[in-house]
């Protein structure tokens, strides 16, 4: 079963500095964070803020191509989550036929907001996303902790060692 979602914000993961798009259901009872690339975050943010450029950016170009070819974006479906990677399909209609195109969720979302197309997320993906490592997997988080500790220790002055009791 798919649940209709809307974009409620963009944020930055404080651990990895990776952009995150936040989707919530229409009643704002369920939410799902999706880690995305910087370019896609910028594409989503500029559309949300209604910023226009003198020349079309990639997702605007895709929208213009679809419009020129008389292809309609029916919906975007985020249908799977495997190994911390989300999978999406764009459902299109043109020339009396319907097509399903594999897409990264971030690209599909960027096109969906430009074409006023609905975004759906499979309920199973929402359930699985509750178990996604927040921002990084355990190994990455441990590595980051070790790097921060090493950096802290390397920057201590010899005088500081007298301040800390064991």
In a domain, 163, yes or no: no
pLDDT of residue 43: 92
Which residues, 6 or more positions from 119, have their beta carbon under 8 angstroms from its beta carbon? 4, 5, 6, 7, 23, 75, 76, 78, 108, 109, 112
Specify the number of domains making up the chain: 1
Q: Which domain holds residue 60?
A: 2-136
- Find the CATH number of the domain harbouring 80: 3.10.690.10
pLDDT of residue 14: 87
* pTM exceeding 0.95: no
> What are the pLDDT digits (tens) for 45-82?
999 998 888 998 999 999 999 999 999 999 999 999 99
In a domain, 152, yes or no: no
pLDDT of residue 140: 52
In a domain, 57, yes or no: yes
In a domain, 159, yes or no: no
- Tokens read off for 71: 């292809």
> What are the pLDDT digits (tens) for 125-160?
999 888 654 444 445 545 555 565 556 556 655 555
In a domain, 108, yes or no: yes
């Amino acid at each position: 079963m798919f649940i209709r979602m809307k974009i409620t914000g963009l944020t930055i993961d404080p651990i990895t500095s990776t952009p995150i798009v936040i989707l919530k259901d229409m009643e704002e009872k369920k939410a799902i964070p999706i880690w995305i690339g910087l370019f896609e975050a910028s594409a989503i943010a500029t559309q949300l803020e209604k910023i226009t450029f003198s020349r079309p950016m990639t997702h605007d170009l895709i929208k213009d191509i679809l419009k020129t070819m008389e292809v309609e974006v029916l919906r975007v479906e985020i249908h799977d989550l495997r190994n911390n990677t989300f999978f999406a399909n764009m459902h299109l209609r043109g020339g009396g036929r319907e097509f399903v195109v594999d897409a990264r969720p971030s690209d599909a979302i960027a096109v969906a907001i430009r074409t006023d197309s609905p975004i759906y997320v499979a309920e199973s993906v929402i359930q699985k996303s509750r178990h996604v490592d927040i921002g990084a997997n355990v190994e990455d988080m441990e590595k980051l902790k070790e790097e921060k500790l090493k950096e802290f220790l390397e920057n201590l002055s010899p005088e500081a060692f007298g301040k800390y009791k064991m």
